[in-house]
Chain A
Amino acid sequence: MTAPLVDPLRAAAGGDERAFGVLYRELQPPLVRYLRVVVGNDAEDVAADVWLEIARDMRTFEGDAAGFRAWVFTIGRHRGIDQLRRHARRPASSMAEVPDTRSLDDTESLALEAISTDAALALIARLPRDQAEAVMLRVVAGLDVADAARILGKRAGAVRVNTLRGLRRLESMLPATATRPDVTPRSRATLF
């Protein structure tokens, strides 16, 4: 039985491996999901490289939880962009061009049952790049406007606008799938 870590961030910076594992389990899911939207199929590889860099520099980290989160995604975005440049792949299309049958099945499940994480990310990936990134960093990664703006290289106002537009567009995407002929009105009602 191990005692819970009071401050995993400080413990990890002090070399505590268990604390580092806690940080990994907390930040890896949003990181790899952000990378899935931005980079596509190489998301896991890029995320692994991010953690190598974090591991290397962890002991020199000074900051709070928000700062650590921002650091992880700063590295994540840089490496994601590097990956894209190496492979010259457009980000939004990589998930949006997943075989239609799978994505359609998942969007249908919106109406009938809980949407899966993959399906949700596939929809977000259909947004314009700026909106997709803003939604992922603000909502899924939990970064505040200032940190997201810094990571995206944009002004705070632009981040707010992109977040709002992205959410509104998602809203418009969902009813659209529900209006497909083979979707029953009953399922449409469950959306609202």
Chain B
Amino acid sequence: MRLPWSAQDDLPPVDAAVARLLAAASASPAQDELVGEAAACAAFVAAGPDPNLRSAPVDVRRFARRLAAVSFATAFGLGGVAAAYAGALPESSQRLAHDALGPLGVPDHADDHAKDQAAKRADRKKLRATPSPSAANASASHGPDVNGAAKAGLCNAWFASGKPKNESSTAFGNLTTAAGGPDKVEAFCADVRKDHPSSKPSVRPSRTAKPKPSHTPRPEHSAESGRPSHAGRPSDAGKPTS
């Protein structure tokens, strides 16, 4: 007697009685044995994404990069700079700025916000004449010197567009405030460009800033690489190598 559930041919032969018993043990399911199906399927659905969105993980990663870039741009004031660019620059420079900043997903309706941000930055700039090492250190512990980078970009753009003295432009207004007057913009920007020689907006810390101590454990200190429980220990991290 063939046993419905078993696909095995290497089971020992059994008499009819045992065969019937085994067949009963392997019989078609009773309804009460399947009552958990809905719960199991619900758990299955809850455990994973819609199969039609198989590409979702990739999209999430791309979105996360864009999000990081937008945050980056906002944190470093590039959003405001871009908006200022949009209002102030001649067509060619505007297109250049747009191309450079466009991939970052910078919003293009932030003019008022940009003005506020620019004003705040200008106020902070007024409080210190030059970036001092301590100030740079302070900003280094929180990130690169925002004002320096933003101002470099503006100055570069200003020089590139022929040093316009357009009083009504947001960008020029920002430079004017920072420089202390429209006639001082050129000198101010010349100084700024000395610290930031690159023609692109730089977000690297200014050269006067001390490097931030690393808090990530170096590979040679972790006893077993790849084990999360060891990777997080800061015991040897941050110590200067001799």
Contacts and interface: CB of A to CB of B under 8 A. Distances in A.
A25 B44 contact: no
B1 interface: no
Contacts of A5: none
A140 interface: yes
B40 A120 contact: no
Contacts of B5: 30, 139-142
Contact of B20 (A30, A44, A115, A121): A115
B50 A15 contact: yes
Interface in A1-60: 12, 14-17, 20-21, 24-25, 28-30, 32-33, 44, 47-48, 51-52, 54-56, 58-59
A101 interface: no
Contacts of B26: 30, 139-140
A54 B24 CA distance: 27
Contact of A32 (B24, B33, B41, B50): B33
A29 to B, nearest CB: 4
What band does the interface of chain B fall in when counting residues whose beta carbon is under 8 Å from A?
35 or more
Contacts of B54: 14-15
B25 A191 contact: no
Interface stretch (A82-90, A91-99, A166-174): A166-174
B33 A28 contact: yes
Given A139-B3, A170-B18, A191-B17, A24 B25 contact: no
B53 to A, nearest CB: 9
Interface in A52-77: 52, 54-56, 58-59
A149 interface: no
Contacts of A15: 48-51, 54
A58 B29 contact: no
B18 to A, nearest CB: 5
Contacts of A56: 43, 47
Contacts of A55: 40-41, 43-44, 46-47
Interface string B5-34: 111101110111110111011111110011
A98 to B, nearest CB: 16
Nearest to B32: A44
A80 B234 CA distance: 41
Nearest to B14: A167
Given A139-B3, A141-B5, A123 B40 contact: no
B223 interface: no
Interface of B: 3, 5-8, 10-12, 14-18, 20-22, 24-30, 33-34, 36-37, 39-41, 43-51, 54
Interface of A: 12, 14-17, 20-21, 24-25, 28-30, 32-33, 44, 47-48, 51-52, 54-56, 58-59, 110, 114-117, 119-121, 123-124, 135-136, 138-142, 144-145, 163-164, 167, 170-171, 174-175, 191-192
18 contacts: A15-B54, A25-B34, A28-B36, A33-B25, A52-B40, A54-B44, A55-B43, A55-B44, A56-B47, A115-B24, A117-B25, A120-B24, A138-B6, A140-B22, A141-B5, A142-B6, A142-B7, A175-B17
